[in-house]
Amino acid sequence: MKTNDYVKYMTQTIVQYVDQPKEERKRLRTERKQAQGSLWYRWFGILPYVVYTEIKKRKKM
């Protein structure tokens, strides 16, 4: 990608973001946050997350 193309892409992205209403930006931000996995899953993967949840469940019983 040439520098001119990159500047054009960034300009279009910024203009698109600024043109959105504030409520729309907030809604999209909250949707992205909800779509993310938990901190344990993102940092350590699925296996430690499963072990952690099992231990947590057993402590409640």
Per residue in 22-38, pLDDT (tens digit) is: 999 999 999 988 887 77
Q: Are 53 and 60 in contact (CB under 8 A)?
A: no
Domain count of the fold of the chain: 1
pLDDT band at 40 (very low <50, low <70, confident <90, very high): low
| Secondary structure class of 13 (helix, strand, coil) | helix
- pTM for the complete prediction? 0.47
- Could you tell me the residue range of the domain that residue 36 belongs to? 3-60
- Euclidean distance between the first and final Cα of the chain, in Å? 57
pLDDT at 43 over 80: no
pLDDT given at position 20: 92
Q: Which of 12, 41, 16, 40 has its CA nearest to residue 28? A: 16
